Amino acid sequence: MTIDEIESMKQALIHMRESKDVELKKAKKGLPESFWESYSSFANTTGGLIVFGVNEGATDNEIVGVEDSQKIVADLWNLLSNESKVSYRTVNNQDVTTAVIDDKTVILVQVNEAPNNVKPVYINGKIDNTWIRTGDGDRKAKKEEIASMLRNAKPGMDSLPIDGCTLDDLDTESVIRFKQQVANRYPTKKYLEMSDADFLIEIGACRLHRENHK
């Protein structure tokens, strides 16, 4: 990162407020258990950014940094890959970044929204440990909310493949417009740089058949 980029990030972190898609965690000495509640919340709602090493203040935030960023990131990946910890992983390599600001290391984790067919995303091996994001906080999902997610996870007609159809059967202008809408919502994902086919595969609208490669 350039000096200007570091300064820009510093100012953004100092003035960042917790919201429906932002969570700030001090996390100075390690990966806090509350991270997993926020992870579940964002995965079950519309996704969000979790920042380690920033303490929210009444006006300006304080960048406190974390003591051992390598260990925190290693623990993060180990637990994200552990099904007894999280039921589904929505974080990919490009979603975890670290930055050094004024000799203090912060960690940024972009949690993506999970596909409907794997919701609810829960923690510690119990579906009752399902969290959702409301306003600027995490709360445990109610039984009826969990039941609703489970109903939506069942495959419907929209998720079934249509025999004999290819990407050529789609309306190109509609795909382009939708790609622009999704790119506006998730600017860091660089959807506009993808081909239409790669974009549709990325969002789960189509997939390659493993046997016949169609």
Mean pLDDT of 154-177: 78
CA atoms within 13 A on the CB side of 195: 4
Q: Which pLDDT score, from 0 to 100, does residue 167 have?
A: 83
* Same domain (yes/no): 100, 172: no
Residue 14 lies in a domain: yes
pTM, full prediction: 0.72
* 133: pLDDT strictly greater than 90: yes
Alpha-carbon distance of 111 to 66, in angstroms, equals: 19
Shared domain for 54 and 147, answered yes or no, is: yes
Nearest residue to 18 (alpha-carbon basis) of 38, 32, 33, 37: 38
Domain of 196 in residue numbering reads as 161-202
Is there a single domain that holds both residue 66 and residue 143?
A: yes
Residue 112 burial (C-beta neighbours within 10 Å; 0-12, 13-18, 19+): middle
Contact 4, 11 (CB under 8 A): no
Q: How many CB atoms lie within 10 A of CB 25?
A: 21
Average pLDDT over residues 37-66: 94
| Co-location of 80 and 177 in the same domain | no
Please give the sequence-ordered ranges of beta strands (E in DSSP) within the chain, or none if there are none.
Answer: 22-25, 48-52, 54-55, 62-63, 96-101, 104-111, 131-134, 137-140
How do residues 87-130 score in pLDDT, each as one tens digit? Answer: 999 999 999 999 999 999 999 999 999 998 899 999 999 999 99
Does residue 212 form part of some domain?
no
Contact by Cβ (8 Å): 109, 17:
no
Task: List, in order, residues 6 or more apart from 66 with CB less than 8 Å away.
Answer: 27, 28, 29, 52, 53, 72, 105, 106, 107
pLDDT tens digits for 178-214?
999 988 888 877 889 999 988 888 887 887 776 777 7
| CATH number for the domain harbouring residue 79 | 3.30.950.30
- Nearby residues of 29 by Cβ (< 8 Å), 6 or more positions away: 66, 67
Confirm whether 38 is domain-assigned: yes
Give the pair of three-digit tokens for residue 55. 């303490």
Question: Does residue 38 sit in the same domain as residue 109?
Answer: yes
Our count of domains for the chain comes to 2
- Based on the fold, state whether residues 67 and 40 are members of the same structural domain: yes
Same domain flag for 46 and 132 = yes
Assess whether 106 and 174 both reside in one domain.
no
